[in-house]
Structures are given as structure tokens and as C-alpha cells.
Amino acid sequence: MSPDFVTQAFPPSLPPSLPPSLPPSFQIVSADVLVYMGRLDYILGTTSKALKSKNGFFAFTLESLEEVEKEEDAEGREEGREEGWLLRPTGRYAHRREYVEGLLGKVGMEVVKVEAVVGRKDKGQPIPGWLFLCRKR
């Protein structure tokens, strides 16, 4: 990924929404960014359009949404829970793997690999997450 692409697509102060047409790229990486977004359909769709042909790759991390958490920790935070994402008290979003995989399929991307990871720690406790590697179909 060229530095010019990063500067054009993601200036220091992000606009309220990404431009509908990004310059084509062969790879896009998003580490510890999508955890600040609940619904991922727009960002995944825009990213898919920005990737060049079938050789375009997208790697990203998310915090994982566990079944127990969906039921026990979601009190008062209903938005997105049925869809597959949840806003945590930390202000970060967690996502179900199935939700993300379904969206990727809808926007023309295939999952090459998903790995369970610890992307960060909060108050010394590991926060489980996902590392996705996807390819444009």
C-alpha cells in the first residue's frame, strides 16, 4: 500500500463518512480500527470496491462478541445485538464472527483465514478478538 493512498483515503482527521470512491489498492490493513464501528456493511463494501481485482487483500482485527456476553452484558444496549454487534461499556464494539463473514460474502469478498487473537488488554485483562484475512472475489 502506498503512503499516498493512506493519506488520501485516511487523512489525519477522518471525514464523517469515507468517500464513495477510493483509489484502487492491492491490500488494505485495518488494525484496531473497526472496533470503533458497530455496523460494518458500509465500511466493508467501500473497502471491497477499493481493492483491485481478485488479488486485492484486506486484513483487519475486531473484538469478538461471545454468546454469553450477548445475553448478560448487553442490558440497555440493544442496538445491533440481533444483527451481530454490541457496544461495550468501554466504548468499543464487539462483533460476532458469523455477522462479519456474512457481510464479507455480500460485498464480494471471501475469507482466506480467521484467527482468534488477543488484540489488546483492558485493565490487564486480555480482550479476545479476531484477525481476518480476506480476498476480493
pLDDT at 27: 87
- The chain-wide mean pLDDT, for the chain, equals 80
pLDDT of 24: 64
Provide the percentage of residues in the chain whose pLDDT is more than 90.
53
Specify the 3-state DSSP secondary structure of 11: coil
Note whether residue 19 is domain-resident. no
Asked, for residue 59, whether it belongs to a domain, the answer is yes
Q: At what angle do helices 97-106 and 41-50 cross, to 10 degrees?
A: 50
* End-to-end Cα spacing for the chain: 19
Query: 66, 62, 64, 70: which is closest to 44 by C-alpha?
Result: 62
The tally of domains found in the chain comes to 1
Residue 97 has pLDDT above 80, yes or no: yes
Expressed as residue numbers, the domain containing 52 is 30-118
Residue 19: the pLDDT is: 53
The whole model's pTM is what?
A: 0.75
Q: Which letter does DSSP use for residue 35 in this model?
A: G
Query: Which residues does 40 contact at the CB level (< 8 Å), separation at least 6?
Result: 34, 85, 95, 99, 100, 103
Higher local confidence (pLDDT), 99 or 19: 99
pLDDT digits (tens, 9 = 90+) for 22-79: 566 788 899 999 999 999 999 999 999 888 777 789 999 999 998 656 554 445 556 6
What is the mean pLDDT of the segment spanning 81-99?
91
Question: Tell me, what's the pLDDT at 101?
Answer: 97
Position 36 in a domain: yes
- Confirm whether 93 is domain-assigned: yes
